[in-house]
Amino acid sequence: MRLSHLDLKIMTKTTTKKSKSFSVKANTPAKRSAPKPMEELPLNPLAFEVLDLVSRQRSKAKKIEALRKYEDMSLKVLFIWNFDESVISNLPPGEVPYHGYDAQNTYSGTLSTKISNEVRKMHETGSFSLGSSDQQGHTTIRRESKHFYHFCKGGNDGMNALRRETMFINILEGVHPLEAEILTLCKDKRLGEVYKVTKEVVAEAYPDIRWGNRS
């Protein structure tokens, strides 16, 4: 039996498998971006600016860094007023009553509500007019903090209650609305409800603060 040329071709045909080659890429560690430097606040920043900066820091270490960077005695006074349980406000708790006239219209209600409305408008417009160049407020927490002892028991208990409350209202009306909000929060020890700052962070940032036995 003779094999045809075609038969020979079929018999001699070999199948080859292509070997797959796998290239292994070395796992190179991703480059870490350099940490962003902390935001620079204007000279003599308002208390709101510092507390807002602290609130926006994600780590405890960064919060402490921000507090130390913008350390000021007025901030320490606020923290003592708010966090020290031995400091008791000598002002009525809750809303601050107010009846008066401002530059644009007659307002009757509570000063706390007025402050809240001003703060809400600022957040809605994104305009806070903050910093040492601020022209809205006639004074600041930084300037007025030397008077805050009047508002705590044991500070000046001989002061007439009406005079004390009037002094507090006058300060609230004179400072920037966002600083006024801070004062009303500290009066009732509610600062932590708005700003992400704790006594633990403050104590570590300012170890010179002595807590307790103040009233």
Beta strand spans in 65-171 (E) = 97-101, 106-110
- pLDDT per residue, tens digit, the chain (215 aa), is 554 555 545 444 544 455 555 555 556 666 666 667 878 888 889 999 999 999 999 999 999 999 999 999 999 999 999 999 999 999 999 988 654 434 334 444 555 565 566 656 655 555 454 444 344 447 899 999 999 999 999 999 999 999 999 999 999 988 988 999 999 999 999 999 999 999 999 999 999 999 998 87
User: Residue written as tokens 């700052």?
Assistant: 197
**Cβ-count burial 105-130 (b if 16+ within 10 Å, e if not):** eeeeebbbebbeeebeebeeeeebeb
Query: Is-contact 212 83, C-beta < 8 A?
Result: no
Q: Which one, of 70, 88, 93, 109, lies nearest residue 185 by Cα? A: 93
Q: Which one, of 38, 36, 43, 78, lies nearest residue 197 by Cα? A: 78
Angle made by CA atoms 67, 188, 159, in degrees to the nearest 5: 105
Query: Is-contact 36 53, C-beta < 8 A?
Result: no
